[in-house]
Amino acid sequence: MTDNQIFRLFGIFYLCVSTGILLTPGYYKKLIESFFNERFATFLSGMVALLAGYILIVHHNIWGFSKTAVITIIAWLIFLKGILILALPETFIVITARVIEQKESMNSYGIITLIIGLIFLALSLF
């Protein structure tokens, strides 16, 4: 995949999630709460994050002062998130639970996710 395709994919993903969070925050809060109760879902999300991060790192580990480095940083963050979920699932659940406890944090997360999605889509145009 090219840099622009990766940014476009991330941008579309973040815009879809942010729209869902902003329009139906209760649904996403219940989704995350059910995630805590399903140990297999936690394990599976850790595996997906680890694999996605690893694939991006292997094929796109480019450092420097360019938009390409943004993809590399995101890839490493995804990879590290996968490691955290698999190695310390209870810690990950506690951290995530603290974030979603308040309604304001879900709204803030939705807005932040929307901004990130728009930034990624803008980066895909250059």
Q: Are the CB atoms for 21 and 13 separated by under 8 Å?
A: no
Say how far apart CA 94 and CA 30 lie, in whole Å. 15
pTM (2 d.p.): 0.82
The whole-number pLDDT of residue 121 equals: 94
Task: Provide, rounded to the nearest whole percent, the portion of the chain with pLDDT above 70.
Answer: 98
Task: Going residue by residue through the chain, which has 126 residues, state the pLDDT in tens, using 9 for 90 and above.
Answer: 888 999 999 999 999 999 999 999 888 888 888 887 888 988 999 999 999 999 999 988 888 888 889 999 999 999 999 999 999 999 988 887 777 776 567 788 889 999 999 999 999 988
Distance in angstroms (rounded) separating the CA atoms of residues 30 and 60: 35
Six-digit token string for 84: 């955290």
How confident is the model at residue 52, as a pLDDT?
Answer: 94
